[in-house]
């Protein structure tokens, strides 16, 4: 998305179109009112990529970290957010992580929520997450089996295809079309594909 097109207020409404990794981070952030560094980087750069500008990012994270004082936020977190937008330090313009990077580097430890659910969740936990989308059992099994076999991005792509298919059925758009996409390579690409298909 274009820079500045997304506001702090509009993020929750867009989260329906997030991939599982970002839905997980977004819901854990709401639950804990905090995210550890790996999660802040993964979600923060993703949100930057969908068009959340720096000022809105500062508002979004300040509100999300509602248990801390302004002083704690400014001292502990605001710098890193500005840094991600190239406004501090080396002034590099950091880009969102690819799926490959999320899957292959920096695996989540206890208390971390970053990573790729298709790669880092147990089979049971992944199935539970997939069930939340109210996919039929057979489809949950199909996606979970792909992940189990090590085809993480293929599993994520199949999940997207099925979600899009069900959405179209609900909105009566091309109800019979079987959707086949090429493999998702980044959470931001997933978002673009998912959002594009919900617009009338
Ligand atoms: Fe996120 Fe990519 Fe994993 Fe999908 S395959 S959940 S977009 S990291």
Q: Considering the domain boundaries, does residue 5 fall inside one?
A: no
Q: Is residue 89 part of a domain?
A: no
Q: Would you say residue 197 has pLDDT above 80?
A: no
- Does 199 score more than 90 pLDDT? no
- Ligand 1 site, residue 193, Cβ cutoff 6 A: no
Q: Which atom of ligand 1 is least distant from the CA of 117?
A: 6
Reduce the DSSP state of residue 136 to 3 states and report it.
Answer: coil
Q: Are 108 and 36 in contact (CB under 8 A)?
A: no
Tokens coding 152: 């993480």
Q: How many angstroms separate the alpha carbon of residue 189 from the centre of ligand 1?
A: 10
Q: How big is the CA angle at 154 (ends 151 and 157), to the nearest 5 degrees? A: 150
Does some domain include residue 114? yes
Q: Is 20 in the pocket of ligand 1 (CB under 6 A)?
A: yes
Domain contains 62 = no
CB 197 near ligand 1, within 6 Å: no
> Contact 84/92 with Cβ under 8 angstroms?
no
The tens digit of pLDDT for each residue in 13-45 reads 999 999 999 999 999 999 999 999 999 999 999
Q: Is the CB of 143 under 6 A from ligand 1?
A: no
Any domain includes 66: no
138 inside domain? yes
| pLDDT at residue 198 tops 80 | no
What is the C-alpha to C-alpha distance for residues 8 and 156, in angstroms, rounded to an integer?
A: 26
> Is 21 touching ligand 1 by the criterion CB < 6 Å?
yes
pLDDT in tens, 85-109: 998 888 887 999 999 999 999 999 9
Share of the chain above pLDDT 90, in %: 78
Q: State the closest ligand 1 atom to the C-alpha of 19, by its place in the atom list counted from 1.
A: 7
- Give distance in angstroms: CA of 153 to centre of ligand 1: 6
Looking at ligand 1, which residue's alpha carbon is closest to its atom 4? 156
User: By residue range, what is the domain housing residue 132?
Assistant: 110-196
Q: How far apart are CA 8 and CA 54, in angstroms?
A: 10
The residue whose C-alpha atom lies closest to atom 5 belonging to ligand 1 is 153
- Number of structural domains (the chain) is 1
Let me know if residue 28 belongs to a domain. Answer: no
Expressed in percent and rounded to 5, the helix, strand and coil fractions of the chain are 60, 0, 40
Place of tokens 């997980």: 24
Q: Cβ of 94: how many Cβ atoms within 10 Å? A: 15
Task: For the chain, give the mean pLDDT.
Answer: 92
């Amino acid at each position: 998305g274009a820079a500045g097109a997304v506001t702090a207020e509009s993020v929750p409404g867009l989260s329906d179109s997030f991939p599982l990794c970002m839905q997980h981070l977004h819901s854990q952030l709401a639950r804990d009112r905090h995210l550890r560094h790996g999660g802040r980087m993964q979600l923060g750069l993703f949100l930057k990529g969908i068009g959340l500008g720096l000022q809105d990012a500062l508002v979004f994270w300040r509100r999300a970290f509602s248990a801390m004082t302004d002083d704690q936020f400014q001292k502990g977190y605001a710098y890193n957010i500005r840094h991600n937008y190239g406004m501090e330090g080396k002034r590099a313009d950091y880009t969102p992580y690819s799926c490959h990077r999320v899957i292959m580097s920096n695996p989540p430890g206890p208390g971390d929520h970053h990573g790729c659910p298709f790669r880092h969740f147990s089979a049971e936990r992944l199935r539970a997450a997939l069930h939340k989308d109210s996919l039929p059992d057979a489809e949950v099994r199909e996606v979970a089996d792909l992940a189990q076999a090590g085809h993480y991005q293929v599993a994520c792509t199949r999940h997207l295809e099925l979600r899009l298919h069900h959405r179209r059925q609900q909105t009566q758009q091309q109800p019979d079309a079987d959707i086949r996409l090429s493999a998702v390579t980044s959470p931001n690409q997933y978002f673009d594909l998912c959002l594009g298909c919900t617009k009338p």
